[in-house]
Amino acid sequence: MTTNNASPGLGNGGETHQRAAGSGDVLTTNHGAPVSDNQNSLRSGGRGPTLIEDFVLREKIFHFDHERIPERIVHARGSGAHGIFEATADISDLSRAAVFTKGEKTEVFVRFSTVAGGAGSVDTPRDVRGFAVKFYTREGNWDLVGNNIPVFFIQDAIKFPDLVHAVKMEADRGYPQAGSAHDTFWDWASLMPETTHMLMWAMSDRTLPRSLRMMEGFGVHTFKLVNAEGEARFVKFHWKPRLGVQSTIWDEALKLQAADNDYHRRDLFEAIEAGAFPQWDLGIQVFDREFADAQPYDVLDATKLIPEEDVPVRLIGTLTLNRNVDNFFAETEQVAFLPSNVVPGIDFSNDPLLQGRLFSYLDTQKSRLGTTNFHQIPINAPRCPFGNFQRDGMMQTKVPKGRANYEPNSLAEHGEEGGPRESPARGFATTNLSSGPDETGGKLRIRAEAFSDHYSQARLFYRSQTKSEQAHIASSFVFELSKVGHLEQVPPRMLANLRNVDEDLAQRVADGLGIELPAKARAAKEPVDMAPSDALSIHKNMKQVLEGRVIGVLIADGTEADELKSLVAAIIKAKAKAVLVAPKIGGVTLSDGSRQKADGQLAGSPSQIFDAVALVLSAGGCSALVNQSAVVQWVVDAFAHLKAVGATAAALPLAEKAGLREEDDIVGLGSDFIEAAAKRFYDREPALRTLA
Ligand code: HDD
């Protein structure tokens, strides 16, 4: 058969022949010539000019000069890992896709990302997170390119460039990096009422994930599932993290940016390296045309979600990330996700945002990866055989044999290879599932009337939150809008929109900014009250388990050896990680005279990188530290970030110096601490900081 389907070495979980390139004994040029000296260029005499004939030097510098490729236009900063998806339910009545066959295991590559910042920006800005999954199924690659938020800013792909221009650094000054708290974003957003629902999510703690391992993921759009009989149903995809959803709070996120630029990337890498493989369940919400017609919103509108109370999420498989990348550039940077990558049994809907994405992602790879043959890069190549008559192009690495580069052909009748043929039975076919009126008609640049309600679901989201979550949303609006220079125009326009969401919210933000509440914006369609959905709240669904968390344990000379040992054992038993922090990285001398090495030095391990802290100090250790402001700040921050603070009796003077009260604010180091460390104490917050 004459195909271009060879994908060398890919059968073995992404093992590539490229990897071998750096592993020989002898250093060579890219063309294989052994190199005798990698320290000195070729020159005339010891101090004379360098010679142009030095091909070793020229090739090395030439290659280095071209090492960078354009970063992604959005989602430039990301972290990836390999894993396995296992289908756990029989949904053959819904979809014929092999990836969903019960028991089927499919290799995956997942890349998480922030949206606005450049590739070198930090991990913890207030931002939406990308959650892109490439399934290497036996019927081709399926890419589910989603976010950690189930809705989007806009309804139509034609607005995407405006959204991205507005949110990224401003065109003239080149700042701010990785954040929406600036004029152009809020200028644009306040003029686009359809962004309001997504803004509620963006201003909530959803955009401050504690860990990539503790985020939900969503396919966002309505897709279709198609079974073997060709029957189609609508579907929304969800990823549910086994560790539960957990977020940081704003002050903590800000301090994390200073403490560790790579906070999320490091956390993911270290968890996988330690064998604590992150897991998510894949869930589906399946519904038909009848359900869609009965809703007060349009299921083709990506600014809308379907409450889980209306259509429960059914779990159908498990994703486990179990292998870090070998090479960041080759894998995480070069991976190319395409929403247009679907497989038979999964189909698109008419969502106009999705339809635009089907073009954009294929197109952008040519500019980012430089060639139409980007699918041959090992991380992108299907792991199943693939072949067609597409030929040539830059960086073609396949060597198709024979004359068959067109179809139909009758070469096989003459004893030659004829090449692959189309397969109506096995191939992908677009399936008709009417999604309601206005699907056909004259050619018009219009939006359906059903897309015109921009506020009801924003209200639904806000009213489904706890008091503390609502306060965080109001405070985020205040923070972001206070960074806007055009204070007379932009915040009032935003407040006018917010009045359609919730009057109390609008008033709180106006008060927080210290400005008058403007008249309510005229709504294209009057919002309706939807029944609150508990599933939309993080706090109402928090899993209070220690698994996957990191506990900072402060030690000093004289720390009781047994106390430390039993605390660390209890933390490990609860499947969390204990990080020993000491004034010096070389460690401390414990009460029994033994030396204990530290995992982190105090100044380099501020308490914001931990989920809870324990002060395991002797009286001597405590008095040596109690007057050091950095140590006191360590405790102040942990408490202010609503974390459990545990202490030995001898460490109480330090906790008290940090303003904590023995009775109410400090826990002993036994089982109470293990239980408390799994929580966040949101009820503590109003006494600690002013929230809008
Ligand atoms: Fe997008 C990247 C998610 C709308 C155009 N997008 C990108 C990535 C994610 C998303 C997770 C990073 C993929 C990776 O890790 O490589 N994008 C979304 C979601 C959307 C969405 C959930 C709405 C539901 N995107 C969207 C629209 C357009 C784009 C409407 C264009 C019309 N997105 C792109 C892009 C990127 C991208 C410019 C940059 C790099 C890439 O595609 O491969 O083409």
**Residue-wise pLDDT tens digits, 530-571:** 999 999 999 999 999 999 999 999 999 999 999 999 999 999
Ligand 1 centroid vs 461 CA: distance in angstroms? 24
Is residue 75 in contact with ligand 1, taking CB distance under 6 Å?
Answer: yes
> Would you place residue 429 in the very low, low, confident or very high pLDDT band (cuts 50, 70, 90)?
confident
* Catalytic residue chosen out of the listed positions 4, 141, 147, 380: 147
* Structural domain range at position 137: 78-189+213-369
> Would you place residue 317 in the very low, low, confident or very high pLDDT band (cuts 50, 70, 90)?
very high
Is residue 119 in contact with ligand 1, taking CB distance under 6 Å?
Answer: no
- Same structural domain, 140 and 170: yes
User: Is 123 a member of any domain?
Assistant: yes
What CATH number is attached to the domain comprising 585? 3.40.50.880
539 and 642 in contact (C-beta within 8 Å)?
Answer: no
Mutual angle of helices 503-513 and 490-501, in 10-degree steps:
150
601 token code pair: 């030095």
User: Which pLDDT score is estimated for 301?
Assistant: 98
Annotated catalytic residue 82: no
Is residue 179 in contact with ligand 1, taking CB distance under 6 Å?
Answer: no
For residue 189, the number of C-alpha atoms closer than 13 Å in the C-beta half-sphere is 30
Q: What's the mean pLDDT when you consider all of the chain?
A: 95
> Would you place residue 23 in the very low, low, confident or very high pLDDT band (cuts 50, 70, 90)?
low
**CA atoms of 451 and 437, how far apart (whole Å):** 13
- Same structural domain, 566 and 528: no
Q: What is the number of domains present in the chain?
A: 3
Ligand 1 centroid vs 130 CA: distance in angstroms? 8
The answer to whether residue 4 scores a pLDDT higher than 50 is no
**pLDDT, tens digit (0-9, with 9 covering 90-100), for 568-605:** 999 999 999 999 999 999 999 999 999 999 999 999 99
- Same structural domain, 135 and 240: yes
User: Which pLDDT score is estimated for 248?
Assistant: 98
Substitution site in 143, 212, 337, 362 for ligand 1 pocket (most atoms within 8 Å of beta carbon)? 337
Average pLDDT over residues 448-461: 97
Domain boundary among 506, 524, 540: 540
Domain boundary among 369, 393, 428: 369
What CATH number is attached to the domain comprising 510? 1.20.1370.20
Ligand 1 centroid vs 361 CA: distance in angstroms? 7
The answer to whether residue 164 scores a pLDDT higher than 90 is yes
* Selection from 76, 146, 86 nearest residue 110 by Cα: 146
Residue linked to tokens 């493989």: 277
User: Is 129 a member of any domain?
Assistant: yes
The answer to whether residue 17 scores a pLDDT higher than 50 is no
- Same structural domain, 183 and 90: yes
- Per the annotation, binding residues for heme are 72, 111, 160, 357, 361, 368
Is residue 79 in contact with ligand 1, taking CB distance under 6 Å?
Answer: no
**pLDDT, tens digit (0-9, with 9 covering 90-100), for 379-407:** 999 999 999 999 999 999 999 999 999 99
Backbone angles phi, psi at 142, to 5 degrees: -115, 120
**pLDDT, tens digit (0-9, with 9 covering 90-100), for 71-102:** 999 999 999 999 999 999 999 999 999 999 99
User: Is 256 a member of any domain?
Assistant: yes
- Same structural domain, 511 and 623: no
* Selection from 120, 16, 149 nearest residue 333 by Cα: 120
**pLDDT, tens digit (0-9, with 9 covering 90-100), for 261-295:** 999 999 999 999 999 999 999 999 999 999 999 99
- Same structural domain, 359 and 463: no
**CA atoms of 494 and 501, how far apart (whole Å):** 11
Average pLDDT over residues 418-438: 84
Would residue 648 be called left, alpha or beta, if left means φ above 0 and alpha means ψ between -120 and 50 degrees?
Answer: beta
Domain boundary among 343, 369, 395: 369
User: Is 271 a member of any domain?
Assistant: yes
User: Is 263 a member of any domain?
Assistant: yes
DSSP 209: B
Average pLDDT over residues 57-63: 98
User: Which pLDDT score is estimated for 19?
Assistant: 45
User: Is 439 a member of any domain?
Assistant: no
Of all protein residues, the one whose alpha carbon is nearest to atom 44 of ligand 1 is: 361
**CA atoms of 341 and 348, how far apart (whole Å):** 10
- Same structural domain, 152 and 167: yes
- Same structural domain, 253 and 287: yes
DSSP string, 414-462: GTS-------TTTS--------STTSSSS------GGG---SHHHHHHH
User: Which pLDDT score is estimated for 12?
Assistant: 36
- The secondary structure of the chain in percent helix, strand, coil, rounded to multiples of 5, reads 35, 15, 50
**CA atoms of 287 and 300, how far apart (whole Å):** 13
**pLDDT, tens digit (0-9, with 9 covering 90-100), for 211-255:** 999 999 999 999 999 999 999 999 999 999 999 999 999 999 999
Substitution site in 361, 368, 369 for ligand 1 pocket (most atoms within 8 Å of beta carbon)? 361
User: Is 14 a member of any domain?
Assistant: no
Is residue 145 in contact with ligand 1, taking CB distance under 6 Å?
Answer: yes
- Cβ burial 595-617 (10 Å sphere, 16+ → b, else e): ebebebebeebbbbbbbbbbbbb
User: Which pLDDT score is estimated for 85?
Assistant: 99
- Same structural domain, 155 and 230: yes
What CATH number is attached to the domain comprising 176? 2.40.180.10
Substitution site in 69, 73, 129, 145 for ligand 1 pocket (most atoms within 8 Å of beta carbon)? 145
- Same structural domain, 521 and 605: no
DSSP 50: B
Burial class (CB in 10 A: 0-12, 13-18, 19+), 384: middle
- Same structural domain, 463 and 349: no
User: Is 9 a member of any domain?
Assistant: no
Is residue 355 in contact with ligand 1, taking CB distance under 6 Å?
Answer: no
* Catalytic residue chosen out of the listed positions 4, 75, 341, 641: 75
The answer to whether residue 16 scores a pLDDT higher than 80 is no
Annotated catalytic residue 12: no
> Would you place residue 432 in the very low, low, confident or very high pLDDT band (cuts 50, 70, 90)?
confident
User: Which pLDDT score is estimated for 434?
Assistant: 72
423 token code pair: 């397969």
- Same structural domain, 536 and 548: no
User: Which pLDDT score is estimated for 21?
Assistant: 53
SS3 136: strand
Query: For residue 70, is the peptide bond before it cis, meaning its omega torsion is within 30 degrees of 0?
Result: no
Provide the residue type at 187 as one letter.
D
| Number of the ligand 1 atom closest to the C-alpha atom of 75 | 12
- Per the annotation, binding residues are 72, 111, 160, 357, 361, 368
Is residue 217 in contact with ligand 1, taking CB distance under 6 Å?
Answer: no
